[in-house]
Amino acid sequence: MATDSELDHDIIVIGAGVCGIYALHCLLQKNLNITVLEAGSGPGGTWYWNRYPGCRFDSESWSYGYSFSNEILNEWNWTEHFASQPETLSYLEFVVDKLNLKPHMQFDCKVKRCTWDENTRSWEVLLADSRRLTTRFLMTAIGLLSAPTMPTIDGLDDFEGEAWHTYYWPGKKVEFTGKRVGVIGTGATGVQVIAELADKVKELTVFQRRPNWCAPLNNTKITPEEMDAIKTQYDDIFERCSQTPGGFIHGPRRTALEDVSTEDRHAFWQELYNSPGFGIWLGNYRDVLMDHEANEEFSEWIAEKIRDRVDDPWTAEKLIPTDHGFGTRRVPMETNYYEAYNRDNVHLVCLRDTPIEKITPNGIQTTAEEFEVDILVYATGFDAITGSFDRIEFVGTDGQTLRDKWVNDPITYLGVQTHGFPNLFTLAGPTAGSVSTNFPRGIEAGVDWAADLVQHILDEGITRVECSTEAETQWGDHVRDMYGVLLLREAKSWFTGYNSNLAGEYKARHLLYWGGAPRYREHLVTVAENYYEGFAFA
């Protein structure tokens, strides 16, 4: 076994996004020799990469910031209730500078392979620039939606105009004025892009395969007076977030639909429709997300809203999902999205009627016709949750790779470790309850817990920690049970591991923990109180 002084680091964290920033801050408090490796040229993760037009929060800005530092809370001013990407990135840069974290971060630093060495009880991390770093503990903070996928369509390289995946949006300004633009994809990202570009381009053609149920974001500016008031309410805001399943300020209404008159439910739904944020999804009657009948009734109510807002009846019907109910896929939040289709310069192409045949030098050829465009936007989603792990080769005990272990379902204990990969902590990993939440709220709890575990390890002089197969089997059963409660289990979306651009036949996967943040935290606390049961220390 190598002694600590023979290794380059005590801990390496991969990723300098929301999770990596907080992990670094927490671990530095413990006087550890730590470095953060980040593929981007700066911190920010998701908010560093996704610079596409219209990119913004669906979480209330003031519920998204870190809660741990009163100084940061008091110094930072949000200008909108749902901040745009540039503002969020500035916020994260502000935090990094404030905490003086940059000296501990290495940018443009891509990790290729991480290999466990049983003899030295350490990880060797191979970088794209061929450097090899050794570390006792390895922590991943590599994001849940950071492995973007391009469509598997013929001719991708033939297009002669500008083409961007929304995730890899360039730092330079893309000039849209006077241009014909095509957008493929109508998930949360595509919906933001389409609404933003509709009145800024010459022609906008939307290539939609399956529509999603969208709802108004109802975003507004925050005045300086309002921001001052928000600062006095942070304790209450974070307390509220800590009680809701999703870590948002919106929690489900516990009443069942059948206990409320039709008139009252419609009045409540109208109130939600007019209110900011995810309330309509996460603050709705609880059974809307659990019970087919309740879900169908609400979906039909929302369908009427789409018909009201879209002038052309054919277009309206094409924008109404028919393959899944409201809220069973991620609900895109929109600002004038449906109204975009009332404009003469916006055209909807339904790929289920006329699929794409190929990308041509001039645009997109469907089975019906060729659409010529100057710019192509691929809002085609991600290899969610496990994709970012698969891009790095993690080699554990006995040469097993994480990719192989997780090929069907990602098996973990509490989402933080997986057997066969000692000393690797998958912060914000698959099936961690910290992931399927208002992200900073979830990761603060998860990282605090992991940092306490590290403290325990240091105090005890431990050099190896690995969860047992029994512990992860039990956790896997619990994760599947939680999927069983929600209708989202039946929909094909990234929540269930669906992405048509991935190789192989689709089989629903259990990637996320749906038991809710309070229940997840209870699990974490119980495990820690029981001397980290389920983990073997050496």
Residues of the shown chain interacting with ligand NA7 in the complex, contacts defined by CB under 6 A: 145, 151, 153, 184-190, 209-210, 330, 351, 379-382, 494, 500-501
Fill in the DSSP letter of residue 488.
G
Question: Other CB atoms closer than 10 Å to residue 295's CB: what's the count?
Answer: 21
Residue 116 and residue 395 in contact, taking contact as beta carbons nearer than 8 Å: yes
The dihedral formed by the CA atoms of 286, 445, 414 and 117, expressed in degrees to the nearest 10: 160
Given the complex with ligand NA7, which of 334 and 472 has the nearer CB atom?
334
**Closer CB to ligand NA7, 268 or 498, in the complex:** 498
- Residue 72 has phi, psi (to 5 degrees) of -65, -45
**Least CB distance to ligand NA7 at residue 177 (A):** 25
Whichever of 378 and 389 has its CB closer to ligand NA7, that residue is 378
CB of 345 to ligand NA7, least distance (A): 21
DSSP 19-39: HHHHHHHHHHTTT--EEEE-S
In the complex with ligand NA7, the residue whose CB is nearer, 189 or 463, is 189
Residue 154 CB, shortest distance to ligand NA7, in Å, is: 11
Question: What is the rounded distance in angstroms from the CA atom of residue 83 to the CA atom of residue 65?
Answer: 11
- Which of 69, 501 has the CB closer to ligand NA7? 501
Measured at CB, which residue is nearest to ligand NA7?
187
For ligand NA7, give the closer residue by CB, 138 or 193. 193
Question: Smallest gap, in angstroms, from Cβ of residue 144 to ligand NA7?
Answer: 8
Pick the closest to residue 106 from 35, 19, 11 (CA basis). 35
DSSP calls for 297-348: HHHHHHHHHHHHH-SSHHHHHHTS-SSS-TTSS---EESSHHHHTTSTTEEE
| Helix 439-460 vs helix 234-243: crossing angle, to nearest 10 | 80
Which residue number, 328 or 380, has a Cβ lying nearer to ligand NA7?
A: 380
DSSP lists the bridge partners of residue 35 as 12
Give the nearest distance from C-beta 153 to ligand NA7 in angstroms: 6
Helix (H) or strand (E) holding 447: helix 439-460
What separation in angstroms does the CA of 378 have from each of 152, 187, 319, 345? Answer: 12, 11, 19, 19
**Contact 381/184 with Cβ under 8 angstroms?**
no
Q: Which one, 35 or 380, has the nearer CB to ligand NA7?
A: 380
Of 186 and 328, CB closest to ligand NA7: 186
Backbone angles phi, psi at 84, to 5 degrees: -80, 165
For the bound state, the minimum distance from the C-beta of residue 46 to ligand NA7, rounded and expressed in Å, comes to 8
* Alpha-helical segments (H) within 165-286: 188-197, 224-232, 234-243, 262-274, 279-282
How many other C-beta atoms are found inside a 10 Å radius of the C-beta of residue 172? 7
CB of 386 to ligand NA7, least distance (A): 14
CB closer to ligand NA7 out of 245 and 396: 245
Mapped onto helix, strand or coil, the DSSP state of residue 524 is helix
- Minimum CB–partner distance for residue 372 and ligand NA7 (Å): 18
Q: CB of residue 151 vs ligand NA7: minimum separation in angstroms?
A: 3
What's the 3-state SS for 70-135?
Answer: HHHHHHCCCCECCCEHHHHHHHHHHHHHHCCCHHHEECCCCEEEEEEECCCCEEEEEECCCCEEEE
Query: Strand, coil or helix: what is 198?
Result: coil
To ligand NA7, the closest distance from the beta carbon of 257 in angstroms equals 26
Choice between 208 and 418, CB closer to ligand NA7: 208
Handedness of CA 400, 403, 408, 409 (dihedral sign): positive
Provide the minimum distance between the beta carbon of 32 and ligand NA7 in the complex, in angstroms, as a whole number.
32
